[in-house]
Amino acid sequence: MESLISYFETIPSSHRSLILVVGITFFWLLESSLPLFQFKYNKWKHAFPNFFFTFTTIIINFVLAFLLLQTSDWVVANDFGLLNWLPSMPLWLYVLLGLLFLDFFGAYLAHLTEHKIKPLWMVHLVHHTDHKVDTTTANRHHPIESVIRFVFTLSGVFLVGTPIGIVMLYQSLSLIFTQLTHANIKMPKKLDKLLSYIIVSPDMHKVHHHNLLPYTDSNYGNIFSIWDRIFGTYMELDREKIVYGVDTFPDEEKNSNLIDLLKQPFQGYRTPTNIEELRND
């Protein structure tokens, strides 16, 4: 465990890039052999805007990375944050708690907030308006959202008091998990269900991409499913019934156009339709 944390304390940018590229490539190929949905689309054309947003996310995180390092060094030097206020514990538990708390503050809370605050939802909408969710959708975030997510991550590092080794380990795991949970792969239902008691499984996250409420406002977790279960935001839906996108933004062509996606946060506010409204009509 010590050698693992030591490695991530000084992980080269090239290694982090390799994790991203290998992950996308692996799940991209796996989608072809074990698809959940038989999408009739040009994969490269669909991937173009998603790869663009992946690139902008990388640039923003790279430019702001020094803030993560400075904050992490400060909390460790000053014994600040949840981890540093707890009694001494084995290293494996220290690392696990660090990952859990970072997942809450930097991912779950950020995601929940984006769904509950109207202007932030309009920014996050870029991610939800993909009608063909696959592994390239994982990093389909508007540049404004990349900044918002970074602020939450930075706040998480500050509040949790995580050393940089755990921060980098978390971010590397996050890359892999987001690609897994968005990948268009058909995992055995029993296995997916079993995994969902501990981690966010592919089917669990795809419920979140259903085009109607209340499913759109559920399953906010990134790596660990514990936070959705604790705070009552966990929901299930038969994967065969899932329809991707947001029903109040139904234009798939517009939602696939890069220029329109960049302008999307500045459109009029519209929430997805609640399924109860449809039942009452």
For 235-269, b/e burial (b = at least 16 CB within 10 A) is bebebeebebbbbebeeeeebbeeebbbebbeeee
Amino acid 240 reads E
**In this predicted structure, what is the pLDDT of residue 13?**
85
- Asked whether 249 and 255 are in contact (CB, 8 A), the reply is yes
**In this predicted structure, what is the pLDDT of residue 242?**
97
**In this predicted structure, what is the pLDDT of residue 192?**
97
Instruction: Identify the band that residue 173 occupies on the pLDDT scale cut at 50, 70 and 90.
Output: very high
Instruction: Identify the band that residue 271 occupies on the pLDDT scale cut at 50, 70 and 90.
Output: confident
CA 214, chain centre distance (Å): 19
Q: Would you list the domain boundaries of the chain?
A: 2-280
Distance between CA atoms of residues 69 and 62, nearest Å: 11
Furthest CA-CA distance within the chain? 60
**In this predicted structure, what is the pLDDT of residue 280?**
64
**In this predicted structure, what is the pLDDT of residue 269?**
82
Chain segment 17-39, per-residue pLDDT in tens: 899 999 999 999 999 999 999 99
Q: Which residues contact 82 (CB under 8 A, 6 or more apart)?
A: 97, 101, 159, 160, 161
Return the bridge partners of 185, or none: 35
Quote the DSSP letter at residue 255: G
**In this predicted structure, what is the pLDDT of residue 267?**
86
**In this predicted structure, what is the pLDDT of residue 270?**
79
- Asked whether 144 and 123 are in contact (CB, 8 A), the reply is yes
**In this predicted structure, what is the pLDDT of residue 278?**
66
Chain segment 222-236, per-residue pLDDT in tens: 999 999 999 999 999
* Closest residue by Cα to residue 142 from 267, 3, 45, 265: 265
Rg (CA), the chain: 19
Q: How far is CA 156 from CA 106, 139, 170, 179, 239, in A?
A: 5, 20, 12, 22, 32
Of residues 280 and 137, the one with the higher pLDDT is: 137
**In this predicted structure, what is the pLDDT of residue 210?**
98
Q: Looking at residues 170-187, what average pLDDT do you find?
A: 97
**In this predicted structure, what is the pLDDT of residue 281?**
60
Chain segment 100-158, per-residue pLDDT in tens: 999 999 999 999 999 999 999 999 999 999 999 999 999 999 999 999 999 999 999 99
Specify the pTM: 0.94
How many percent of the chain have pLDDT more than 90? 89
**In this predicted structure, what is the pLDDT of residue 279?**
63
**In this predicted structure, what is the pLDDT of residue 2?**
85
Q: Which residues contact 25 (CB under 8 A, 6 or more apart)?
A: none
